[in-house]
Structure 1
């Protein structure tokens, strides 16, 4: 995890903008490197500190110091230089170039340097690049700028692009998160003819092999218990082919051993799976431990499935609040309200459920025991059982939103709400 040596005081940080979120979403994770920043102003130190909390920087080790070039020189007289130094300087161009020579005398040849200056000078930029500086940017900078610059230096632009990972998790056991994850993955593969890998992370009790009517001899357990063997070739042998564009990394669903893992146990598997297909669906079990927390933190998108009951509302609120802290530079998770309208069961209305969460449900799926039961018992997807069913249309809508082909449509205001809004506007 990132290690910050700088703690700032002052006004609260501004919320991240939609533009910054879009910029960050286009970036790939940064490898395990050490970074040290030396800043002269809080306006530069703060976005670097915030960038350290971004999930794309999760593998980096970052320290932020105040003091600029002089502090860096004092520090490196007795300490080795890291993979990357980020240095802010308010010095004039010629003075900056002269000062950087002293830094070069104490830097390892392999250390990269980013300069954040306060002069928009083309001559200065050219001289710095000629002197071996990796990048020069002019303040002010945002956290997205910081992550993007580091990514440009340390992520191979010619490497194969990573697929998008989408983590599905239930607010409570039995809410249907796995069923929705599997059906959405199937819909993506069939409707868009896009290669999809579904990874069942519930090793003792996973149901993906049943839902897809598969009985593979190997699966995700072989990968997680033998991380030293994992590469694209080995992973391909573990995948069960469910259809032309859909592959399954199945759970063993046995209790012959315990499944205790450290926080990063699934990270390598997920990274390699993302290089194998443009879409990776992660079926995350309803447990809370180091590896599920890490998996949800690192996923590109998170989908929470809940039923309209009080315990589900409490758990969903806890998950949403926790993910906001773990993923400060990402959009909130998506919400699916499932099993709505169970006969004779008191329920919380969709509006009342969503209001404290400040989320617009991506879908409200009604209770239909016959459709879901028949699909489950026959090892088929909902779309295979009844392609014209309204619930299948909802699954299609979810697939469109998660792949960026459409957006969630906000619920129209009631007539009274519209009148009140107009009255407020006239004041």
Structure 2
């Protein structure tokens, strides 16, 4: 078989085989893989598709993956003249009696530190034991799923004794001014107080962030020092940048100054977000309403995404575009959560909630009514809604959102609706 190989690059906007979605429950417990090199040799279209799906997953963001159409002999021939990667995945249809013989030429050229996973056709315990005795890391019987491959790789390269990673929950508005930051701040406060969980609120809007105002804080340092000095980032440095807002809530505040331009490349926030995951069980990310390389990267790699909308046509269009884009960025994750905010504003023409969500084919996790007095008093006093009126329906709604985004409650699976009159409005636009 001739070897056809290519480097697999994860690109925003690519979507491979959407009909082959994997069960998100099998993947949510897996940690992101470390910076390793992988080379997969596939002889069937099915395994090649699974490997391509793996390459699209956010947990593989640091992995350098190469996929080759070829068998074990092709791998031995290639590595006779090139260094072997950290992990080799080999698909074979060889019989148990012939498999070890096929592996012998590869063993002669393979670096002793390289790990090998074999995908075979025979469910044979004796073969499995023999392969493990001969240094093979794992043997999987085809057909294989993406979750099986990811779990096998994780078992090899992720330390089971390592501390569990925290969850990053990203909040973003479908349009500016829809209250995404207010919701993010109240949810961060709710998570920290309801569950007595150490929570970090990171305000990623460096130019116009309002988290410091909402919590009545004026820190001298914050997220700007972390982003512009990645070489200094460690737990001690982060601790100096954090401001205590309540017993279990810490704030990484934005400078909210216009003394410089805040243009970032796609990976600018990655070192910080990884450190935050190691530092607290929950990090709430207040993401500004923008669509750039870095915001797209943050949203693509977050554990949960929450989109806040207001009930008008521009928000509907933007929400639909964001849902479509995030589905491509996160093909193996559940869809973002949607919140409809500022519903019932006096004298403002609005799209009814049912008509708003019908063309999106997704149910909201919360519908928050417009309440100028309640939100205005909270904002002007630097307090959260539950501190102003703990018994208000809005305060209860924020508590429910905190349960949902942290996985402590589930949303009923919505019935799949048809397209309504709002979609027709969009078409006319």
TM-score bracket for this pair, using the shorter chain length: over 0.9
SS of the equivalent of 1:14 reads: helix
**How does the TM-score come out when normalised to structure 1?**
0.92
Partners in 2 of 1:187 and 1:102 — Cα distance? 59
Whether the aligned pair in 1 keeps the contact of 2:200 and 2:249 (CA below 8 Å) is yes
Partners in 2 of 1:93 and 1:155 — Cα distance? 29
1:258 matches 2:261: yes
SS of the equivalent of 2:27 reads: helix
Whether the aligned pair in 1 keeps the contact of 2:389 and 2:395 (CA below 8 Å) is yes
1:349, CA displacement in angstroms?
Answer: 1.0
Deviations 1:178-231 (A, max 9, x none): 000000010111111111100000001100000011111111111101101111
SS of the equivalent of 1:113 reads: strand
Partners in 2 of 1:12 and 1:87 — Cα distance? 22
Partners in 2 of 1:66 and 1:146 — Cα distance? 17
Partners in 2 of 1:168 and 1:324 — Cα distance? 16
Structure 2 match to 1:245: 248
Structure 2 match to 1:371: 374
Structure 1 match to 2:124: 121
Q: How does 1:134-283 map to 2 (within 5 A)?
A: 134-283=137-286
Partners in 2 of 1:380 and 1:409 — Cα distance? 32
Whether the aligned pair in 1 keeps the contact of 2:365 and 2:401 (CA below 8 Å) is yes
Partners in 1 of 2:201 and 2:65 — Cα distance? 33
Deviations 1:12-54 (A, max 9, x none): 563424xx21111000101111111001111211111111101
Deviations 1:274-316 (A, max 9, x none): 1111111000000111110000000000000010111111111
Q: How does 1:27-176 map to 2 (within 5 A)?
A: 27-176=30-179
1:315 matches 2:321: no
1:112, CA displacement in angstroms?
Answer: 1.1
1:405, CA displacement in angstroms?
Answer: 1.6
Structure 1 match to 2:8: 4
Across the aligned residues of Structure 1 and Structure 2, the Cα RMSD in angstroms comes to: 1.8
* Deviates most, 25-34 or 68-77: 68-77
1:16 matches 2:28: no
SS of the equivalent of 1:357 reads: coil
Partners in 1 of 2:251 and 2:266 — Cα distance? 23
Partners in 1 of 2:66 and 2:356 — Cα distance? 41
Partners in 2 of 1:248 and 1:381 — Cα distance? 14
SS of the equivalent of 2:397 reads: helix
Unaligned runs of 5+ in 1: 6-10, 414-427
Partners in 2 of 1:91 and 1:34 — Cα distance? 26
**How does the TM-score come out when normalised to structure 2?**
0.92
SS of the equivalent of 2:65 reads: strand
Whether the aligned pair in 1 keeps the contact of 2:43 and 2:70 (CA below 8 Å) is yes
Change in CA separation of 1:409 and 1:127 when aligned onto 2, cut-off 3 Å: closer
Partners in 2 of 1:40 and 1:410 — Cα distance? 38
Structure 2 match to 1:334: 337
Structure 1 match to 2:292: 289
Whether the aligned pair in 1 keeps the contact of 2:362 and 2:414 (CA below 8 Å) is no
Whether the aligned pair in 1 keeps the contact of 2:38 and 2:88 (CA below 8 Å) is yes
Whether the aligned pair in 1 keeps the contact of 2:219 and 2:253 (CA below 8 Å) is yes
Partners in 2 of 1:160 and 1:63 — Cα distance? 30
